[in-house]
Amino acid sequence: MRRATLSNPPLFAVTRRTTGQITLTADTGAVAHVFVLEEDVVRLLVLPDGRVKGPPSWAIAPGAEDITEPGRDRMSLEGFACPDFAVDQTIDALAIETAQIRLEIRLHGLHCRWLQRHGDGWVRMAEDRPTQAYDFGWFDRKVHHYVARHAGERFYGLGERAGPMDRAGNSFRLTNLDPMGYDAETSDPLYKSIPYILAVDAEGRAHGEFYDTMADVAFDFGREHDNYHGPYRHMVAESGDLDLTMIAGPDALTVTRRFTWMTGRPALMPRYAIGYSGSTMTYTDAPDAQAQMAEFITKLEEHDIGCSSFHLSSGYTSIGDKRYVFHWNRDKFPDPAAFVKSYADAGIELVPNIKPALLRDHPQYAALDAQGLFIADEDGRTVEGQFWDELGAFIDFTNPEAAAWWRGQVKSALLDHGIRATWNDNNEYGVWDKNARLEFWGDPRPAAEARPLMALLMSRASRTAQIAHDPELRPYVVTRSGMTGLHRYAQTWSGDNRTDWKTIRYNAKMGLGLALSGVSNSGHDIGGFAGRKPEPELFLRWVQAGIFMPRFSIHSWNDDRSVNEPWMYPELLPAIRHLMALRQTLTPYLYDLLRRYHDDYEPVVRPLWLDFPGDPEAWADGDDHLLGRDLLVPLVCDPGVTRREVRPPAGSDWIDVWSGAHVRGGQTVALAAELDRPPPLLARAGSSIPVDLAPGGFRPDPFRRGLWMFPSVGDGAFSWRFCEDQGDRGPARDIWTGDCVCEGDVIRVAVKRTGPGLFGDNCIAILLPPGERRRLAVSGGQSATVEIAGRQGVTLMLD
């Protein structure tokens, strides 16, 4: 067996072929496994030493909600179809081909070229850099992959990243960090690690590239130049193996859905997770925390503002000025169960903050240290590090006993008091000691190989505790940090953002980047978490942006200890109240989108180009995005704006939700954007939006089912569908479907419902846009004309 050198790279030959797999072995002992997983998915696993070095995968879970400990074996094909494939081999090359994807390998050096089907032929997806594309032992024993870069390529994904959505020309570090008060335009790294790229070529054809590693990773998309290698981009992981999965397109939406499926089924959250969630550090840090928490409910009622949950900050665990997870401060909260009940009686679920580290003076620290439940070094000594204002140690969730302890604490400290949810915070695992080891279910490994896994396993343990406590209820878990696959367990948000106008703009791009990376159930701290108190105009614009995200929480820890609250500016109260009511109105639509995300892997928030790739101007990195496929949300991200210019993408006509005005796709229009008006919002012509027509406020009226219908501008037809269920339990659901045909001056709608009729009654109000003059004729039951909030329509009672 010879050693590979720069001048003499390894020579590979096919040594094995089985269902879904071809193995190539080099004269140096290096091994490359090619897995043909689906017609559009092929994976390459390169092992320079001939053996798997990295830990099992916790990212790949095709269509599944969980992964079995200790993780997915790197050689497993479970969950994939593994279709037949063609092989064409010559003395120096190998080609592997399905109906949709083709991999060409030059055997001397393992140079790879990936292609996808285009008409009757093939077009390039990606190809290795011609020179030294891999690390076979001649570099630094890290995992290197260098890919040729071509003119006009764009790169999206990588989960939660600062700056523009297109990563071209930039470089990024994926190492989970706690960057409180980060700059949403420039800060790097951030909280999450998702080493996935959605690549788009100059012609708009898309494909996906996923590097399955939990080590720290650096990506460069052309910021680095080297005269000797031509244009290239690269990925460098600190440890493990090169485990690369390629997903053929050709369009970005197909690739996004496939990647989401491949990394697991998104968790379906209870409906209350969609509503307004109150929060602030200030309430629970105060000596009279319970009184301040009660005052919050009083203010909600006083201002008639609905709220479905409250994220209980960690001050409830305090001893002195420090925080001790799973400890209740009985001076602040003498009777936790009674406190929880007071919120439940107001229709508000508490979501308490829990942290994965124990300070070394924590009442339970010594016991856990003695049991070996913390991350330790290779000699078994607990590894301590800075955590908030003290040294502490992190729970090792790869130790089954530690995970069991955590689940027990979630139950006894929280769930047994009537709490139904958990907020997993500060779980970036800042363990930088190179001697730190994870127990890894009896196969100890360096902690650096899998730091992001700890946040995932923390969410998983919290979710498992909720399911065990009440198997009938849907669990609700929130996490700040995570890795690929976090959507199987938790909702997330963009962390402790800074109060700044540009944060609205770049947080929105973070949310889109997460959705393109499989994580759609996300949001942002409205008003800004850290820094100055938001001025009135900034606060209002932030609320306008926030109501169109799956997670909607107003949260803060302002420098002056003021609190971001709906009523913080009395002069804004009427406008804020209308925005909060609009959020409640749109709850059925948001819930349906999250159901589609769970069922069909459809991203919830979407860049315009995801649905309109053929419109070159839709690719501009602007401040507009889609909520689902049918609502276009133009954000206001700058002060002093009263008119917002919007160019909806070509390929559809659009309708102003508030005025009913028709807008042709590709035409720029100015929409009203005054502070006292509803936020700019367009609906796709030929769509229907399920809504609650009686959103109410603090004590909402009984649900009244409605449908905002936006018929085709001229003659035309479309169908619609939305889903309802009980919201917090059970698989049973109702499916509402309908057809709409526009002919001349008549809009004909047929309505049908299938299912057990579990939610609401059998009545639906179908409303047309303001100013629509065509007559609405509805079939499927007994109907009557109606006018609601300036919209003409028909109320239908199903037969």
- The CATH number of residue 237's host domain is 2.60.40.1760
Tell me 440's DSSP state: G
User: Token pair for residue 532?
Assistant: 């100055």
Cβ-based neighbours of 139, under 8 Å, separated by 6 or more: none
Query: What is the spatial distance between Cα 697 and Cα 263, in angstroms, rounded to a whole number?
Result: 38
Q: What is the pLDDT of residues 375-390, one digit of tens each?
A: 999 999 999 999 988 9
Strands 687-692 and 705-710: antiparallel
If we measure between CA atoms, which residue out of 173, 268, 775 comes closest to residue 490? 268
| pLDDT given at position 799 | 87
Find the domain containing 749 and state its range: 605-798
Cis before 189 (ω within 30)? yes
pLDDT at 447 (0 to 100):
98
* Burial of 3 per CB tally in 10 Å (0-12, 13-18, 19+): exposed
Q: Tell which of 199, 234, 262 closes a domain.
A: 262
Nearest to 252 by CA among 211, 210, 207: 207
Of the three residues 236, 262, 288, the one that is the final residue of a domain is: 262
Which pair of structure tokens corresponds to residue 772?
């629509």
Interatomic CA distance for residues 684 and 562, integer angstroms: 40
For residue 1, the model assigns a pLDDT of: 61
- Name the domain boundary from 231, 262, 293: 262
* Distance of alpha carbon 33 from alpha carbon 424, whole angstroms: 37
Nearest to 190 by CA among 198, 178, 208, 181: 178
Residue 337 belongs to some domain of the structure:
no
Instruction: List beta partners, residue 723.
Output: 735
Enter the pTM of the model: 0.98
User: What is the predicted pLDDT for the residue at 7?
Assistant: 65
313 assigned to some structural domain: no
* CA atoms of 310 and 553, how far apart (whole Å): 8
Strand partners, 386: 391
- Does the residue 298 lie in any domain? no
> Six-digit token pair at 596?
């589609």
Please identify every stretch of the chain with a pLDDT value under 70, giving residue numbers as ranges: 1-7, 137-138
In a domain? residue 432? no
Provide the H-helix boundaries in 550-650: 573-585, 587-600, 608-611
What's the per-residue H, E or C state across 167-220? CCCCEEEECCCCCCCECCCCCCCCCEECCEEEEECCCCCEEEEEECCCCCEEEE
Separation of CA 713 from chain center: 34
CATH code assigned at 717 = 2.60.40.1180
If you average pLDDT over every residue of the chain, what do you get? 96
- Asked if residue 34 is part of any domain, the answer here is yes
How many CA atoms does the CB half-sphere of 749 hold within 13 Å?
35
522 in any annotated domain: no
pLDDT of residue 496: 98
Number of domains in the chain: 2
Burial class (CB in 10 A: 0-12, 13-18, 19+), 19: exposed
- Count Cα atoms within 13 angstroms, Cβ side, for 316: 25
> What is the Cα–Cα distance from 394 to 382, expressed in whole angstroms?
9
User: Does residue 40 form part of some domain?
Assistant: yes
**CA-CA distance, 41 to 80, in Å (whole number)?**
9
Quote the pLDDT of residue 6.
65
Q: Does any domain span residue 269? A: no
Distance from C-alpha of 97 to C-alpha of 211, rounded to nearest angstrom: 21
The predicted-structure confidence for 90-141, as pLDDT tens digits, reads as follows 999 999 999 999 999 999 999 999 999 999 999 999 999 999 999 876 678 8
Q: What angle do CA 362, 367, 369 make, to 5 degrees?
A: 85
